Amino acid sequence: MTTEEKSKIEVCASLQEVWDMKDAAQKELEGKTWEEQKQILHQSMIDAAKSIGATLVKLPNGNYKFA
């Protein structure tokens, strides 16, 4: 859904916040290599874990979880 389409409909504040964060994330990653994108996203996961008082644990299958 484009920004123009979003502006034509009324949405709750929390959904608008999610859309705004998604748009900001896309802009941050735009023009970056795949490796740079992975590094940025990994750091974001670490920051998110810290913000909720958790740690990031890598699972054997390569995925991560908060613990």
Return the pLDDT at 12: 87
CA–CA separation, 65 vs 46, rounded Å? Answer: 10
Nearest to 19 by CA among 31, 3, 8, 5: 3
Residues 6+ apart with CB under 8 A from 52: 66
Q: 67 and 57 in contact (C-beta within 8 Å)?
A: yes
Whether pLDDT at 51 is above 90: yes
* pLDDT, tens only, 2-39: 666 666 778 888 988 999 999 999 999 999 999 999 99
Q: What is the DSSP string of 1-14?
A: --HHHHHTS---HH
Return the pLDDT at 10: 80
Return the pLDDT at 25: 92
Instruction: Look up tokens 């990994």; give the residue.
Output: 42
